[in-house]
């Protein structure tokens, strides 16, 4: 499993969530919402330091991560975060090899 943060999405998170080099952004599983990988669950984001990182990537000095306890949600899919061209907000894509 991998996390890919596209440049435009990283810039959006940096601006909207006041992130800078040395910061952290967590993707976490929440009950409810819509997902193409797990019915009845969706991903949330929070600006917080990690406890037990399961997977991470870094962009512009910011660490984007998922805790070990939330890896199940992805069911072997990679997470790709891009910026939606019309809505101008992050778009989460799940890709399985």
In tens, the pLDDT along 53-86 reads 999 999 999 999 999 999 999 999 999 999 999 9
Domain residue spans of the chain: 3-96
Tell me which CATH code domain 3-96 carries: 2.60.300.12
Q: What Cα–Cα distance (Å) separates residue 20 from each residue in 3, 8, 14, 15, 82?
A: 19, 15, 6, 9, 19
pLDDT of residue 86: 94
Angle, vertex CA 50, rays to CA 97 and CA 23, nearest 5? 95
Q: pLDDT of 10-53, one tens digit each?
A: 999 999 999 999 999 999 999 888 888 888 899 999 999 999 99
Angle, vertex CA 33, rays to CA 38 and CA 69, nearest 5? 50
Write down the H helix ranges in 2-97.
7-16
């Amino acid at each position: 499993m991998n996390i890919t943060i596209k440049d435009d999405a990283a810039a959006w998170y940096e601006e909207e969530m006041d992130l800078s080099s040395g910061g952290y952004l967590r993707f976490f599983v929440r009950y409810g919402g819509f997902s193409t990988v797990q019915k009845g669950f969706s991903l949330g984001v929070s600006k917080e330091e990690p406890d037990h990182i399961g997977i991470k990537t870094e962009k512009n000095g910011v660490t984007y991560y998922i805790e070990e306890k939330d890896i199940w949600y992805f069911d072997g899919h990679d997470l790709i975060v891009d910026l939606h061209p019309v809505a101008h907000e992050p778009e989460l894509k799940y890709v399985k090899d």
